[in-house]
Structures are given as C-alpha cells and as structure tokens.
Structure 1
Amino acid sequence: MFKFCPSCGSQNIQFENNKKFHCPDCGFSYYHNTAAATGCVVSTGEEIILLVRAKDPAKGKLDLPGGFVDPGEGAFEGLRRECREELGWDPGPNFTLFASFPNIYPYKNITYNTCDLFFTITVPGLKPGDFKLEEKEIGGIRFVKPGDIKPEDLAFDSTRRAIKAYLEYNTIRGK
C-alpha cells in the first residue's frame, strides 16, 4: 500500500504483523484496521434474495444485499443505506443479527480484512418488481430457496458461511 512513508518520504516503511505500517525513520504509524461490512438475508418466507455482482471482485457471482459500513454509521444504518442504494428499497429497522465472520476483500491491489455482520429480515410478498437495482453494482436479482444455493456460486467465503449459518439458524427456530 505504501512504498514511501507518507510523513517523511523514507523508503524504509514497513508493514508489521499484517496490520500496521511503521516508519522507523520518523515514527509514523498507520493501522490498516479491519473494515466493517454487512450482508442481509432478505426472505419472503419461502425464498431469499441473492444479487448478481456487476463488478469485481467476484463479478458474476452471487451475493447478499449489503456492503461496507461508512464512517459515522452503525451496522444497521449502513445496511439500510446499502439496501436503498443497491435495491432502491428500504427494509426498515427490523433486522436480526444472526452471524459474523471475517472476510478478505481484494480491491485495486489492496487487500481489506473485513468483519462481516450478517442480518436477516422476512418480508412476505416481495417480488423482483419491488426493486430498482443499481446497475453499476448489481447485475441482476434472483429469488432462491435457501437449500438450493450452491456454495460455489457465492462471491465470498463469509457469504458461504453466512448461508450455512442461516440454514442452521432457521433449523433451530423450527422454520
């Protein structure tokens, strides 16, 4: 990420423990902290919504609605904003957190470590026409029975783990 120290210009900048840039010449430190991201299993009661990614990473693969939490936002706020941006739809505040997993998100030669928080909400009667997709980010929408999802079709490891956790979560709840 850094070839030169942003403070003094030294070429001695070091990346320590996969989290901190440090310059031994001037003492500059920058922590490349984990970013928060959200995903949501939006269920109709029978099917869940999966989005087709329109850009890399994992272009063409399936993903859940959601994305990075912006500075100054909480996870719920970030998830609602992402649903409005990606789907043109505000799901309201009634999410349930059911899982969290670490993830790796490679973007433009920078690897971001993320902490992905997964929520669920059930909204009976949803149809594809209820959404206005952000075409730059979303290549399509699919309504899929959760048990029919193939893990290899999903964009990220954390999403694969979240779908598995969702299936277990609903089994425990008797759904």
Structure 2
Amino acid sequence: MTTESNPIESVYRFCPRCGAESRDVGSVPFRCHSCQFSLFFGPVAAVGGLVVDAEQRLLLVRRSRDPGKGLWGLPGGFVDRDENVEEALAREVIEETQLVVTSSKLLMTGPNQYNYQGVVSPVIDLFYLCEVADSTVINLAADELDQFVWVQPGPEYLESMAFESNRRAVEFWLASLKRR
C-alpha cells in the first residue's frame, strides 16, 4: 500500500475524453488543450449518521479496514449516483449496522478530504442526527466494521476518530447538548 498522498487533480495526466497528454498537470480545473474538455474536480457528497439512543448516548463504530482501520467513526458513506442525501443516509446506516432510520435532521455540513490509496478527493460531508426504530439490535457489516459502542464520547474516543470531520460533527453535537 502506498503512503504517498496526491490531490486528485495531480493524477490526471491525460484527458479522459480524448486521451491527449495534459500540459498543466495539477491545474484546477483540468482543461484539455486538444478537445477543450474541462473537469472541475468538485467535491463528492458523503453522509454521516449521529445515531442517538433514548439515553442520549451516541453510536460509534470501529472501522475494520482502511482508511482508518482500528479507529472510531460514525455510520455513513458516499452518496450514490441518482440517490438523494437522505436516501444515502438511510442506506448507509442500514448497510453498516442493520438499524433502520425513522427520522433524521441535518446537524451540520463541512468540507473534507478523502485519501483513498494515495489519491485525495474533495468531499462535502453532511451529518444528520438520527433516530432509529430499534437501537437494541445491531449487526455490523463485518467487511467494514468490527465493534460498536454507545457512549457520551470523551477524549479517548474523540482522539481516536478515523476522520477529522466525524470528530468535528461529534464535538458539534456534544456542544449542542450543553446549550440545551
């Protein structure tokens, strides 16, 4: 596995439309001088669910694969093509935990970067506060997750989050509890 980290625009050495070699590798947007094709490398959308139980404890899941193997996070993932954000949230939560989202409310959004095998893509994260039908039965997707906890997360969890954006969302949620 590579430890190298390259912004996505730096790996586009050839035009995806006509195959011409780029004169300006790393430029945003990518502009082909041969066919005039442009690619803007806009952020992809990702969702995260802050699933809270009746005791106001948050569900954290531990990742069993990279990126972030062995670290904590929130159920979530990328929004698929032809899917709205709320559908993606419900799909990701059920895929990862088998929990059925019954209601969700947008908590916060923020920019992020996703490093996958050394290529870094821009992401816009949308975090939702979620209620689920039955929080007592969780079945984790074994290919993605290996443990879960219901907690009021303190430093031991916040400092062991797989993604900085997840940590910021959890901290935002914790601060909102104090404002009540």
- Residue 50 of structure 1: CA displacement? 0.4
- Counterparts of 1:119 and 1:149 in 2: how far apart (Å)? 23
TM-score norm. by structure 1 comes to 0.87
**DSSP-derived class of the 2:113 partner:** strand
Letter of the structure 2 residue corresponding to residue 120 of structure 1:
L
Residue 148 of structure 1: CA displacement?
A: 5.7
1:21 maps onto 2:19 in alignment? no
Given candidates 112, 115, 121, the residue that maps to 2:121 is 112
1:50 aligns with 2:60: yes
Match of 1:90 among 95, 100, 116: 100
1:37 and 2:46 are equivalent in the alignment: yes
Alignment pair present for 1:144 and 2:141? no
Identity %: 33
Superposition TM-score, scaled by structure 2 size: 0.84
Question: Any idea what the Cα deviations from partners look like across 1:88-114, whole Å, max 9, x if unmatched?
Answer: 22122x111111111111012321111
Shift of 1:25: 2.3
Pair 1:149–1:124, CA change in 2 (3 A): farther
Which range moves more in the overlay, 161-170 or 117-126?
117-126
* 1:29 CA drift (Å): 1.3
Q: Is the 8 A contact 1:5 1:13 kept in 2?
A: no
SS at match of 1:153: coil
Which blocks of at least 5 consecutive residues in structure 2 are unaligned? 1-10
User: Is the aligned partner of 1:81 residue 2:86?
Assistant: no
Q: Which runs of 5+ in 1 are unaligned?
A: none
Q: Let me know the Cα RMSD of the aligned residues.
A: 1.9
State yes or no: 1:72 paired with 2:82.
Answer: yes
